[in-house]
Structure formats: structure tokens, C-alpha cells
Amino acid sequence: MKPSRISRTACVRRSEPVSASPAQSARPKTNVPVRPWRVPRIFLALFLASVLAPPAHADRQMDPALEEIVAKAIAAGECFAEKYDAEVWYKLMEPRLRRYVKEHDVRVDILKHVYCESRARQLPAELVLAVIDVESGFNHWAVSSAGAQGLMQVMPFWPEKLGMKRHQLMQVEANIRMGCAILKFYYDREKRDVRKALARYNGSVGRREYPDVVITRWTTRWRS
């Protein structure tokens, strides 16, 4: 029997490595199909979330019923807390406040009025400290881009409404008294819901960022 003839061309083809074309080399070495529409859809979702999110209300501290509340708070004058309880609270909070307020007299002044005004309005004193922490960082000279002033960032239209001098908003006692009165008003209005009250105080109703930050400071930094 004669051996079968194998063409020289066939041998060469079998022995030569098969090289991929440039177009084939560029293809991704994966069996997972590429879906280019995924990225645009993610960006679209983010865009819609930012557009459709509940807007922050611009009525911060402008509720008509607040004027009477704040006026009464200012007219009430200095409040006095039970001395023993106040001293215990001062000793507990003073070391914590020391890292934010260097001057001893200013620390004592802030703690005195926070404790007294919060107790008078049945607010947690540590919650008020957390609000001050977030609003001004305990800087009683702080002024926001919206014009809010002092420790609790009271809006600047209040002095004109109440016959006060503008600089009084920078005073520790007056600012804390007005801020606590405003916070208490929203606290009662929201039926003691702290998150909703904080959102109204900040003018960000429908958003969680501000209440979440304040409550985190309250529970991790100031609550005794």
C-alpha cells in the first residue's frame, strides 16, 4: 500500500503558530459581556437623586409664632438652676469642653447658660451642647454665610424684631437663651421628635444630614 500523501502546505499550517489579528487582540479576554449602558445609567440615577431629593426649606427660624416665644425668653432675664446639680454637671462636662474652648471663664459661662436654659425648657443639656458643637464649634464670634451668628447661630433679624442691639447675638447668655427657645419651639411642634426638630432648627426639613451629625455628636461626645 502506498502511504497517503500529506501536502507540505498542510504540515506547515499545522506547525506554524496561529497569530491573532490586531482586532482580535484588542478584544477583552473574558466571557462576561460588556454592557456600556451601565455607567451612564449610574450617573443618571445619581443625577435624578440629587434633583428629586426633598429641598431644604428656606424658612429657618422665620415661623411667625417664634417671635412671641423668643421675646418671652429675652424678657425672662437670667435663669437660675439648682446649684448642686449644676455643679455636678459642670465638673462632668468642663474637661470635655476644654479641648474646644481654651478660656476657663468662657467655658464656665457656656456650661452655666446651657444647663440653666435647657433645664428651664426641658431640653437635654447635652443635646444643646451638640447643637452648639455643630453650628459654631463653640466659637461665640461665629458668623455663617447666611448671617446667622453666635454659638447657636441665631438669625440676624431677631435683634430688629425684639428691639435688641445686633452685637447682643454674640453674647453667650443671650444667644443660648434665644437658641434654646427656638429649639424648644420646634421640639414641641414636632411632638418631641428630635430629628425633625433639628431639621427645622437648621432649615433642612426632609433631609437627614444635619440631624444625623448632631445626634452623633450628642451620643458619642456629650451625653453623660
3-state secondary structure of 136: helix
Q: Is 90 exceeded by the pLDDT of residue 197? A: yes
Residue 30 falls inside a structural domain:
no
Residue 15 falls inside a structural domain:
no
Distance CA 139, CA 153 (A): 10
Residue 168 falls inside a structural domain:
yes
Per the structure block, which three cell numbers stand in for 16? 506554524
Residue 119 falls inside a structural domain:
yes
Residue 98 falls inside a structural domain:
yes
Q: Which of 128-159 are b and which e, b meaning 16 or more Cβ less than 10 Å from the residue's Cβ?
A: bbbbbbbbbebebebeeeeebbbbbbbbeebb
Q: What backbone torsions phi and psi does residue 149 show, to the nearest 5 degrees? A: -130, 155
Q: What is the pTM of this model?
A: 0.69
Residue 46 falls inside a structural domain:
no
Q: Is 90 exceeded by the pLDDT of residue 136? A: yes
Kindly report the CATH number assigned to the domain that includes residue 74.
1.10.530.10
Which range among 12-26, 120-134, 145-159 has the greatest average pLDDT?
120-134
Residue 38 falls inside a structural domain:
no
Which range among 4-13, 15-24, 42-51, 63-72 has the greatest average pLDDT?
63-72
Residue 196 falls inside a structural domain:
yes
Q: Is 50 exceeded by the pLDDT of residue 69? A: yes
- Segment 160-188 shows an average pLDDT of 87
Domain count within the chain: 1
3-state secondary structure of 154: strand
CA 134 to chain CA centroid, Å, is 7
Residue range of the domain that includes 206: 66-222
What region, left, alpha or beta, does residue 54 occupy, with left being phi > 0 and alpha being psi -120 to 50 degrees? beta
Confidence band, pLDDT 50/70/90 cuts, at residue 63: confident
